[in-house]
Amino acid sequence: MKKAIDIRIKGIVQGVGFRPFVYNHALSHNILGSVLNDTEGVILHAEGDPADLKRFLEELPGAAPPLSMIMSVSEREAEVTGCTGFSIEPSRVAAERLAFYSPDVAVCDRCRAEFFDPADRRYLYPFITCINCGPRFSIVRDIPYDRVNTSMDTFPMCDRCRAEYGEPADRRFHSQPNACPVCGPRLSLHSAGRDLIASDGEDVARMTVDLLRKGAIVAIKGIGGYHLAVDARNDRAVAELRKRKRRPFKPFAVMVGSMEEADRFLEIGPSERALLLSKESPIVLLKEKSAALSREVAPGLTFIGLMLPYTPFQHHIFSLDPGMALVMTSGNVSDEPIVYRDDEAFERLGRIADYFVVYNREIIGQGDDSVLYVVDETPFFIRRSRGYVPAPFLSSDTRRPILAMGGDLKNSFALARSSFIIMSQYLGDMADPLTYRVFRSTVEHFIRIFDAEPEVVVSDMHPAYLTRQYAGELGLEGKRLIEVQHHHAHVAAVMEEHNLEMPVIGIAFDGTGYGTDGSLWGSEFLIASRGGFERAAHFSNFPLPGGESAIHDVWKIGLSLLHQCYGDAWPVMERDEASAGVIEIIKKRINSPHTCSIGRLFDGVAAILSLSRTVSAEAEAAQLLEETAMRGRIPAHPYIIPFSDSDPIVIGTEGLTSYIVSMIDKGINTEDIAAAFHQAIIHTTAAVARRIREKTGIYTIVLSGGVFHNRILLSGIIRILKNDGFIVCTHRVVPCNDGCIALGQIAVAKDSLIR
């Protein structure tokens, strides 16, 4: 007796070769029927012996194509219609639009082999791709994922490409970016003045390598935007790029041609290796074992951000010079968003780059390279973007579509609908007007391509945040507005990732976030559920002279800490006109908000230790402090910073300052002081956590906040808490910095919608 079922599959199932996979899977299991795409995913009708059907269904998820991501399968019994074969039917528009796109991924091994095969018709063709690789999110303009809704719409396929596209057995069946040298996009090399220098792919590659070897700065159009490339071994060239890009400190990412090259000068562990070779092909922070690059690449740091080639063109240029090492940094000026449109590229990067490698296909979904680091073999995100966005996260039912704005720094927003959450790519800091504009247009783009017109809009509480202001504007259209405290969002993000429903002890060690009392928080121990929180402990407040701009003048924070502890008789730091001015604004409470931010505490300690005076980027001083601590000895008896027995517990910042000063007085070297400082934070954190556990009986601890990018702190705190019997949860799928805020906002908003 034959049986029939209708199956609905949701997830990333379009543009990834899902229908031909189902077709072959059906044939090999004696199943008849049909498969088709609609705006919600894939629908299939299957008829066969009950035993065959059962096996067909069971084996389906495990055999699915590499870029697919099945998020739900639902089936119901259907009528046997007596199908005589298995067919792929034309796409349909469903009542609901809820299809997902694959992220952009690295060129696959088979395409790469064809690319370097002189007999192949796509030999050295830089836009070679198949259903298992290449651009997706970056070329999508609208739903459903069909060629007409992508930036491939201006390239009609030639007969041979069309034949591949129409043949279910072909690796390029319904591959939307399918193209060849006859019909597809083309590469060209230009001067900064837009003069055409070369237009043949081979010439472009050869000349680009030549120019790079000579020290030129070349803007290269990649997947999500332009890179600025320069020889990473050429001091003068890298220094020139820093100058032109107005980026004095922030490390540059580097690309080398192969793992063997990377192994020569970097320490690479198993997890790091796997990340580098993954289809997502991110930047991974790796420890230098020998100095093979210009010191200008990452001044003063021992970790280098490295990635391997992931586009055919990148493979091409490294094949011409396998020993080359290139700086490949996002094409932008200072903190502006990545440039991804061609006319804009010549306009905005014209003063930085000497040459431009361009192609005539539009980038629609822009994005930077993703960045990860590995601690104790566990990967953590710093930036979640190309390769990962817009893969959805499975979530509990959100009831109403939610838009979460995230924060104003390191922004990434999120959309939630039915049982999915989609995080946007990294967008940057809203203080930059261009970034704010890109943020708004990207929000609109996401609402369109995921068809998720929000009914609920969530933002941070910070009155000065532009993201909050934008939420307010959208609220005028009758949407419900929800505000979430910054560190509650940090903690809730981890709860969402780990599916935690019971209250936790949430530790948010952060830059700054707006607190419910109007001060700037940032060393929070919260007893938190999704619905709310209590502040259980924090460091004591200290004045932040000049307000949040003190992020750059870290010496002012150092002075403020010393003055708080010793008054006008402060030791260590100089007494001059500038310091007198700072003391005066502290005393008169002019633009000196109070904060307990642990990020700022790191800045201040770095200043007291003379490691930093002014910095160009947030956390630069803290990074130098961590680097210094790595060279120091761990003290035999870690210092526990005194803390009160009040509610909330207050950890005495003065105690920490006097501890640092006493070590300076004893003539202990800076490396050892930096190490002792880290240990003091780690052991004090554990002591406070234990006290909170005694009071509440809560054993689950959640860690979040940008300060956990500090490896010593992260691994130290995890280790000590686990030894103490805590269950410790950290971020796995989003960064611990403010790139997680939108996810946490969604978690809190979902909770308030079910009440």
Which residues in this chain contact Fe ion in the complex, by CB under 5 A?
Answer: 510, 738
When the beta carbons of 621 and 660 are compared against Fe ion, the nearer one is: 621
Among residues 182, 259, 394, 590, the one that binds Zn ion under rule CB under 5 A:
182
Taking the complex as a whole, the smallest distance from the CB of residue 391 to Zn ion amounts, in Å, to: 19
* Residue 111 is a binding residue for Zn ion (CB under 5 A): yes
Taking the complex as a whole, the smallest distance from the CB of residue 544 to Fe ion amounts, in Å, to: 15
Phi, psi of 76 (to 5 degrees): -145, 155
Host H or E run for residue 679: helix 670-696
CA distance to 38, 174, 420, per residue, from 415 (Å): 21, 28, 8
Query: What is the bridge-based pairing of β-strands 218-221 and 226-231?
Result: antiparallel
What's the residue count for the chain?
A: 755
**How remote is the C-alpha of 378 from its chain's centroid?**
16
Considering only residues 567 to 596 of the shown chain, the ones binding Zn ion according to CB under 5 A are: none
Q: How are the residues of the chain apportioned to helix, strand and coil, as percentages rounded to the nearest 5? A: 35, 20, 40
From residue 128 to residue 147, what is the string marking binding to Zn ion with x (rule CB under 5 A)?
A: --x-xx--------------
Taking the complex as a whole, the smallest distance from the CB of residue 704 to Fe ion amounts, in Å, to: 8
Report the chain's C-alpha Rg in angstroms. Answer: 27
Taking the complex as a whole, the smallest distance from the CB of residue 489 to Fe ion amounts, in Å, to: 8
Q: Which does 395 bind (CB under 5 to 8 A by kind): Zn ion, Fe ion, none?
A: none
Q: Of 452, 519, 451, which Cα lies nearest the Cα of 485?
A: 519
* Residue 161 is a binding residue for Zn ion (CB under 5 A): yes
Can you read off the two tokens belonging to residue 8? 């609905």
Q: Which does 661 bind (CB under 5 to 8 A by kind): Fe ion, Zn ion, none?
A: none
Q: Which does 128 bind (CB under 5 to 8 A by kind): Zn ion, Fe ion, none?
A: none
Taking the complex as a whole, the smallest distance from the CB of residue 138 to Zn ion amounts, in Å, to: 16
When the beta carbons of 121 and 575 are compared against Zn ion, the nearer one is: 121
Can you read off the two tokens belonging to residue 407? 């924060």
Q: Which residue is nearest to Fe ion (CB)?
A: 510
- Tell me how crowded residue 248 is: count the other CB atoms within 10 A of its CB: 12
Among the residue ranges 172-180, 327-335, 486-494, 659-667, the one whose residues contact Zn ion (CB under 5 A)? 172-180
Taking the complex as a whole, the smallest distance from the CB of residue 227 to Zn ion amounts, in Å, to: 21
64 within 8 A of 5, measured Cβ to Cβ: no
* Residue 183 is a binding residue for Zn ion (CB under 5 A): yes
**Distance between CA atoms of residues 273 and 306, nearest Å:** 11
Taking the complex as a whole, the smallest distance from the CB of residue 153 to Zn ion amounts, in Å, to: 15
Q: Of 594, 683, 597, which Cα lies nearest the Cα of 638?
A: 683
Cis peptide before 144 (omega within 30 of 0): yes
At residue 282, what is the residue type?
P
When the beta carbons of 114 and 231 are compared against Zn ion, the nearer one is: 114
466 within 8 A of 408, measured Cβ to Cβ: yes
CA angle 160, 314, 319 (to 5 degrees): 95
Taking the complex as a whole, the smallest distance from the CB of residue 91 to Zn ion amounts, in Å, to: 22
Phi, psi of 326 (to 5 degrees): -120, 135
Q: Of 403, 338, 649, 634, which Cα lies nearest the Cα of 505?
A: 649
Taking the complex as a whole, the smallest distance from the CB of residue 362 to Zn ion amounts, in Å, to: 19
**Distance between CA atoms of residues 536 and 326, nearest Å:** 48
Taking the complex as a whole, the smallest distance from the CB of residue 410 to Fe ion amounts, in Å, to: 8
Among residues 7, 35, 106, 108, the one that binds Zn ion under rule CB under 5 A:
108
When the beta carbons of 29 and 462 are compared against Fe ion, the nearer one is: 462
Q: Which does 113 bind (CB under 5 to 8 A by kind): Zn ion, Fe ion, none?
A: none
Taking the complex as a whole, the smallest distance from the CB of residue 180 to Zn ion amounts, in Å, to: 3
* Residue 71 is a binding residue for Zn ion (CB under 5 A): no
Taking the complex as a whole, the smallest distance from the CB of residue 706 to Fe ion amounts, in Å, to: 6
When the beta carbons of 398 and 597 are compared against Fe ion, the nearer one is: 597
Q: Which does 182 bind (CB under 5 to 8 A by kind): Fe ion, Zn ion, none?
A: Zn ion
Query: What is the bridge-based pairing of β-strands 325-330 and 303-307?
Result: unpaired
Q: Which does 130 bind (CB under 5 to 8 A by kind): Zn ion, Fe ion, none?
A: Zn ion
When the beta carbons of 104 and 738 are compared against Fe ion, the nearer one is: 738
* Residue 158 is a binding residue for Zn ion (CB under 5 A): yes
**139: Cβ contacts below 8 Å, ≥ 6 apart:** 150, 151, 152, 176, 177, 361, 362, 363, 364, 365
Taking the complex as a whole, the smallest distance from the CB of residue 285 to Zn ion amounts, in Å, to: 28
When the beta carbons of 353 and 484 are compared against Fe ion, the nearer one is: 484
Among the residue ranges 30-38, 156-164, 199-207, 315-323, the one whose residues contact Zn ion (CB under 5 A)? 156-164
Among the residue ranges 75-83, 175-183, 346-354, 504-512, the one whose residues contact Zn ion (CB under 5 A)? 175-183
* Residue 180 is a binding residue for Zn ion (CB under 5 A): yes
When the beta carbons of 548 and 738 are compared against Fe ion, the nearer one is: 738
When the beta carbons of 510 and 626 are compared against Fe ion, the nearer one is: 510
When the beta carbons of 132 and 208 are compared against Zn ion, the nearer one is: 132
Among the residue ranges 111-119, 207-215, 305-313, 700-708, the one whose residues contact Zn ion (CB under 5 A)? 111-119
654 within 8 A of 564, measured Cβ to Cβ: yes
Among the residue ranges 10-18, 110-118, 342-350, 704-712, the one whose residues contact Zn ion (CB under 5 A)? 110-118
Q: Which does 510 bind (CB under 5 to 8 A by kind): Zn ion, Fe ion, none?
A: Fe ion
| Residue located via tokens 């995100």 | 381
- Tell me how crowded residue 294 is: count the other CB atoms within 10 A of its CB: 22
Q: Which does 738 bind (CB under 5 to 8 A by kind): Fe ion, Zn ion, none?
A: Fe ion
**Torsion of Cα atoms, 493 then 496 then 497 then 499, to 10°:** 150
At residue 115, what is the residue type?
F
Taking the complex as a whole, the smallest distance from the CB of residue 431 to Fe ion amounts, in Å, to: 15
Q: Which does 679 bind (CB under 5 to 8 A by kind): Fe ion, Zn ion, none?
A: none
Q: Which does 259 bind (CB under 5 to 8 A by kind): Fe ion, Zn ion, none?
A: none
**How remote is the C-alpha of 636 from its chain's centroid?**
38
When the beta carbons of 19 and 462 are compared against Fe ion, the nearer one is: 462
- What is residue 608's three-state secondary structure? helix
**How remote is the C-alpha of 718 from its chain's centroid?**
22
Taking the complex as a whole, the smallest distance from the CB of residue 155 to Zn ion amounts, in Å, to: 8
232 within 8 A of 291, measured Cβ to Cβ: no
When the beta carbons of 632 and 735 are compared against Fe ion, the nearer one is: 735
When the beta carbons of 181 and 282 are compared against Zn ion, the nearer one is: 181
Q: What is the 3-state secondary structure (H, E, C) of 375-423?
A: ECCEEEEEECCCCCCCCCEECCCCCCCEEECCCCCCECCEEEECCEEEE
Can you read off the two tokens belonging to residue 575? 């007494």
When the beta carbons of 121 and 236 are compared against Zn ion, the nearer one is: 121
What is the per-residue burial (b if ≥16 Cβ within 10 Å, else e) of 61-81? eeebbebbbbbeeeeeeeeee
When the beta carbons of 132 and 679 are compared against Zn ion, the nearer one is: 132
Which residues are at the interface with Zn ion (CB under 5 A)?
108, 111, 130, 132-133, 158, 161, 180, 182-183
